[in-house]
Structure 1
Amino acid sequence: MKNDYLERILTAQVYDVAAETPLELASNLSARIHNQLFLKREDMQQVFSFKLRGAYNKMVKLSPTMLKRGVVTASAGNHAQGVALAAQRLHCRATIVMPVTTPQIKMQAVEARGAIVITHGDSYDEAYAHALKFAAEKHATFVHPYDDPDVIAGQGTVGMEILRQRTGPIHSIFVPIGGGGLISGIAAYVKRLHPEIKIIGVEPVDADSMYRSLRAGRRIKLAQVGLFADGVAVKQVGVETFRLCRELVDEIILVDTDAICAAIKDVFEDTRTVLEPSGALSIAGAKLYAKRENIRDKNLIAIASGANMNFDRLRHISERAELGEQREAVMAVTIPEQPGSFRKFCAMLGTKSITEFNYRYADPKEAHVFVAVSVRNRDEAAKLIRSLERSGLRTEDLTDNEMAKLHIRHLVGGRARDVKNERLYRFEFPDRPGALMKFLNSMGHRWNISLFHYRNHGADYGRVLVGMEVPPEEKAEFKEFLKRMENHYWDESSNPAYKLFLA
């Protein structure tokens, strides 16, 4: 081996700033995947990421003269926090170049530690080029996020801790890959002592530079990368990290956004911690691997690498998590346009929880309903669709339809030309299994439903928007119906939003 990483890792100076993080069993997730999955909790570092290990190990070895000139780096956030913390500890000036797409929480964390932040470019690579130029102009030391033996050795202490903490047999260690520093360090240490342990890298499908490079036998530079998992959004892996991964890594697994979101939810349910997307990559990979290989009762380890989550991402993650876990089926169902059809359709769904129900009158003969239902797995979803088809209801499975999941579900509506005397009401009811069906039963089928929108938001109360055709001569009867309703309601017929977009 070109560099003796075993000695480098054993002598790495990281514990002035880093903690030896716990290796915890994710009990709920382990039971579901039929293997013991342990999480290496690097999200519990004081900068909520493993990156301070490599940054400090590099900087603590700089001479007093180099420290006086300062350091410069480029980072999407976590390495930046590690460099900022190390500079603070070593009384050194630090300048961090960050892509303009970096989450605000990471920029604020870096500035809070006294570092100077410069935003430049839309990706890490553009920030990297600018940082190199800036470092040369200022005669400062550039601290590479991953392609440096001292940085790699610092990250390798994660692998050292894993073998110390888990003395029993380990089947596989799953590691997220951005530039490759973490997996290179872990693999260099673990493979030297236990070559039988599989080292498996995990990348997003839209940021798979190491996967493509290993397949091609040379470093591949991606034209663009997905930014959802911004911590691993690297267009080209390092020279040294590519060399080490080519020699030591057993496999690279690719996962999509839905799988990452599901993994974030899985870790939350086990630890009550919200990982950032790149921090949950390895968990998503471990789940996919266990299912693909059909392994059971093995000890798997996944690196929970970071928890610098932007709060405004939580809504998207929550919505996609059920899809990533294949526990929500999204469908377009065509039902007869006649009173009572909604109730009959919901009855066919049985006890399954309806998570979304969108409808707007469009045709006097057929109603097209956008519906999402909680299921246990894809097999159950397929069985439900077959059951609806056998009952004469045309059903289109939209679970894997990106446009439907991202946009159409929010756009079902519009103006209905043939609707007359429409009244619009908003209702609230306690949201529990069967509550929507109970609500529909309470409405009866006296008046034609011309609009219906329901979405389970995970709150205590379900909220439904309903449009009904109520002829003028039936207004008194309709008011009596509302008085008998057990649910809170609001008349939205004069709401300007309704008049502008739906009426």
Structure 2
Amino acid sequence: MSRPELADLTAARTRLAGVARVTPVLTSGTLGSLSGRTVSLKAENLQLTGSFKIRGAYNTIVQLSEDERRHGVVTASAGNHGQAVAWAAREAGIGATIFVPAAAPMAKVEAARSYGANVVLGGEGFDDAVAAALAHVESTGATFVHAFDNPRVVAGQGTVGLELAEQLPPGPGTVVIPVGGGGLAGGIAIGLRALRPELSLVGVQAAACAPYAGLAPTGPTIADGIAIKVPAELTKAILRDLLDEIVVVEDEAISQAIVLLLERSKLVVEGAGAASVAALLGGLVPGQGPVCAVLAGGNIDATTLVSVTRYGLTSSGRYLVVRIVIPDRPGQLARILAVVGGEHANVLNVTHYREGRSIGVLETEAEVTMETRGEEHSQHVVEVLEAFGFTVQRLR
């Protein structure tokens, strides 16, 4: 399978003119202050269908022959590619069947259905979805549009690189790109190596699924969009030749990046899209110069966003949960709440236990969840409670 070249990316950009948005590059003073570098964000979360995937899907489908169009298209996807194929197939007037893992976010599943695709759920992960999609190809003759192991798809994703070549200021810098199957990073790398060779290119994977970094999968990740266990030979070769480095980030760091982007940049970004920012904030991006983090997608459903936000706030110390043993006498809980309120922490929940715990006969236990200003404030609240004579065990 031949590697796309700059001419393929340029042709893809022509096909995508008036279809895919030229997404903005936004400067972030907050991220700049936190990282000590000039930081910009390539906001592909604002792209049509909510991610960069529309670029590769449309570039592929628009080039199908009449015979291929008659049989329709089929794909496997963790969600974003499926949405993009569904949208592009609808625009081309052809049928589309999308196979997604059973645990795929419902926001992505429903979006694909809303574009008219037949969405089939099943299997534990992307590889199971691929197997099911290929079986469908055998039985129907439909054209399989792979999420990343396809030169036309990679060329389409590479139009992000062509835009960055024009949008980023002259001179050295670093572009940080989430890596799943490698189509986005590979396409961007082809474009920038040809047009902006002075830029360093760093790929980012989630620690729970980082085959390009040589790590075995360990379980699910909030960065489901880049949770690809088996890289393709096409993209593996491109990344090996053109990326400077691949780094790995934990889910905790990704969740904190999602919360920060939401609060300070007013951008809704999914786990896979926020991995680039997590790497930057974690000090994993080499160099001292300007950095552009590619926000690959924004398709995070409401329930996941709530869970991730809570996790991100907890891991950053802004949710404090403590267990306090107190004498079983009237007024003791009121004392705790008075102390917490006096330290300007906001109590969210109180659970009172008298049974089922290892406490004395004349003792009771309170589990208090509160909102604080951050880790330093949380530690201060615990110290004040202890100074008032309470036995405090921090749970989170």
Shorter chain as denominator, the TM-score bin is: 0.7 to 0.9
> After TM superposition, where is structure 1 displaced by more than 6 Å over at least 4 residues in a row?
none
Contact 1:357 1:369 in 2 (8 A): no
Unaligned runs of 5+ in 2: 355-359
Partner of residue 10, structure 1: 10
Equivalent residue, structure 2, for 1:245: 239
Q: 1:323 is matched with which residue?
A: 314
Calculate the aligned-residue CA RMSD, in Å. 2.9
Query: Per the alignment, do residues 324 and 198 of structure 1 end up closer, same or farther by CA in structure 2, a change over 3 Å counting?
Result: farther
Q: What secondary structure, in the 3-state scheme, does the structure 1 residue paired with 2:49 have?
A: coil
Task: Give the one of 271, 282, 306 matched to 1:277.
Answer: 271
Distance 2:377 2:200 in 1: 33
Contact 2:256 2:316 in 1 (8 A): yes
Instruction: Give the Cα separation in 1 of the matches to 2:393 and 2:247.
Output: 30
**Corresponding position of 2:357:** none
CA distance in 2, matches of 1:137, 1:336: 71
Report the alpha carbon displacement of residue 388 of structure 1 after superposing the two structures with TM. Answer: 4.9
Q: Which has the larger radius of gyration?
A: 1
Aligned residue in 1 for 2:248: 254
Aligned-pair CA distance for 1:176: 1.8
Output the CA distance in 2 between the equivalents of 1:53 and 1:187.
Answer: 15
Q: 1:299 to 1:347 in 2, by over 3 A?
A: farther
Q: TM-score, normalised by structure 1?
A: 0.69
With over 3 angstroms needed to count, the CA separation of the structure-2 counterparts of 1:17 and 1:225, relative to structure 1, is: farther
Residue pairs, 1:176-191, within 5 angstroms = 176-191=178-193
Alpha-carbon spacing, 1:82–1:383, altered in 2? closer, same or farther (3 Å) = same
Q: Which moved more, 1:332-341 or 1:172-181?
A: 332-341
**Letter paired with 1:312:** T
Aligned-partner Cα distance in 2 for 1:171–1:374: 38
The answer to whether the Cα contact below 8 Å between 2:353 and 2:366 also exists between their aligned partners in 1 is: no
2:350 corresponds to which residue? Answer: 358
Unaligned runs of 5+ in 1: 214-219, 400-503
Which residue number corresponds to residue 25 of structure 2?
23
Could you say if the C-alpha distance between residues 331 and 111 of structure 1 is closer, same or farther in structure 2, counting changes exceeding 3 Å?
same
Deviations 1:347-385 (A, max 9, x none): 555423134443424244444332344445445544554
Q: Deviations over 1:170-208 (max 9, x none)?
A: 532222222121111112222344444332222333222
Is the contact between residue 348 and residue 371 of structure 2 (CA under 8 Å) also seen in structure 1? no
Q: What CA distance in whole angstroms lies between the structure 1 residues aligned with 2:126 and 2:141? A: 22
Note if 1:148 corresponds to 2:150. Answer: yes
Residues 159-170 of structure 1 correspond to what in structure 2 (within 5 A)?
159-169=161-171
Q: Distance in 2 between matches of 1:89 and 1:361?
A: 59
Deviations 1:64-92 (A, max 9, x none): 22222322111122111211222223333
- The equivalent position to 1:70 in structure 2, one of 69, 72, 90, is 72
Percent identical residues? 33
Task: Note the C-alpha offset of 1:4.
Answer: 5.3
Q: Structure 1 residues 334 and 24 mapped into 2: Cα distance closer, same or farther (>3 Å)?
A: same
Residues 225, 235 of structure 1: 8 Å contact kept: no
Change (3 A) 1:78 1:70: same
Aligned-partner SS, 1:147: coil
Matched, 1:308 2:320: no
| Equivalent position SS for 2:74 | strand
Instruction: Note if contact 2:316-2:375 (Cα within 8 Å) is conserved in structure 1.
Output: no
| Amino acid corresponding to residue 54 of structure 1 in structure 2 | G
Structure 2 vs 1, CA of residues 389 and 353 (structure 1 numbering), >3 Å: closer, same or farther? closer
Decide whether the 8 Å contact of 1:331 with 1:395 is kept in 2: yes
- The size of the alignment, in residue pairs, is 387
Query: Secondary structure at 1:289's aligned position in 2?
Result: coil
Please say if 1:201 is aligned against 2:203: yes
Residue matched to 2:97:
95
The residue number in structure 2 matching 1:134 is 136
Displacement of 1:250 in angstroms is 3.1
Kept after mapping to 1: 8 A contact 2:101/2:128: yes
